[in-house]
Structure 1
Amino acid sequence: MDRLVAQDDGPPGAIALLTRHGRTQVYTAGTGDLTTGKPPRPDDRLRVAGVSKAYSGAVALRLVDRGLPALDDTIGERLPRLPKAWHAVALLQLLRHTSGLADYSADPRHRFDSRRLLDFVAGEPLRFAPGSLYTYANSDNIAVALMAEAVTGRRYEELLAELV
């Protein structure tokens, strides 16, 4: 971990928890807080950024496996408050990044309510007809999480903890 942190393009810090025989050992390198220089701690919060797409996909597919929602359920059916132009976009298109939703842009250092991130692009039209092209968009992952919340009536964080 020290070598990883020391690389020019490495992260500022790393942490690993190793649990064997009911005992957990914590290994750290670098810093977990750029302001204070404190080492990483197991209870630190971090921005998972692009890794989140695997989690939102896993939550959605576990729910699909349980029968709710279906892959062809649309934004209009599950999230009718979102722009009408998006209503025909299906869950499968969101998961495949073929939805056409514009990609939101937000300052990664600022903490946002993820349920409001789509507000950044709510006024934008679809970039292409749903299902016709592949273009990665963070907006797709947010919409997947919101659909999971809509069909279960539970917060995405709870679903994530339970299903993944």
Structure 2
Amino acid sequence: MYTAGTGDLTTGKPPRPDDRLRVAGVSKAYSGAVALRLVDRGLPALVDTIGERLPRLPKAWHAVALLQLLRHTSGLPDHRAAPGFREIVIADPRHRFDSRRLLDFVAGEPLRFAPGSLYTYANSDNIAVALMAEAVTGRRYEELLAELV
């Protein structure tokens, strides 16, 4: 395995193959790849909705389909804009969030627009895609990522 660069800026140590890092914005491609690999295998379907697969999420979001999440036409509010989320990040930029709880920051908010009517990028869409993948397989997203991508 090949590594390059500096894994620790303080010590100058090189990265190790088993190091973990936050991939942030790059992760959206991975959640989409996992979802589409599962769709290719027949579960879930692109028309499956949040209400069908993630009924614990707000009823106002239940009509949103997987395809709309993947296209960022869902209307879900973006958890990164939520005051509670922002306060935590400002207080501790290295705070580790439980990705399965990120949508809780916006669970009380309505959709920003009718699903499918507009395009607006929202990180919440990527979280919901990963949660749907977990719901249809009964497996953790990390396992699905390792297997499918």
Relative distance call for 1:63 and 1:28 in structure 2 (3 A) is: closer
Moved segments of 4+, more than 4 Å: 26-30
Greater helix percent: which structure? 2
Greater strand percent: which structure? 1
What is the aligned length?
137
- The structure number with the bigger radius of gyration is 1
Relative distance call for 1:101 and 1:68 in structure 2 (3 A) is: same
Relative distance call for 1:35 and 1:118 in structure 2 (3 A) is: farther
Q: CA deviation at 1:28?
A: 5.4
TM-score (norm 2): 0.85
The one of the two structures with greater contact order (alpha-carbon pairs below 8 A, sep at least 6) is 2
1:21 corresponds to which residue? none
Q: CA deviation at 1:156?
A: 0.5
Relative distance call for 1:132 and 1:66 in structure 2 (3 A) is: same
TM-score (norm 1): 0.78
Between the aligned partners of 1:52 and 1:68, the Cα distance in structure 2 is: 21
Identity of aligned residues (%): 98
Between the aligned partners of 2:63 and 2:6, the Cα distance in structure 1 is: 46
Query: Does the Cα contact within 8 Å between 2:3 and 2:17 map onto a contact in 1?
Result: no
1:2-151 equivalences in 2 (<5 Å): 30-103=5-78, 109-151=94-136
Q: Which runs of 5+ in 1 are unaligned?
A: 1-25
Q: CA deviation at 1:107?
A: 6.2
Q: Which runs of 5+ in 2 are unaligned?
A: 79-90
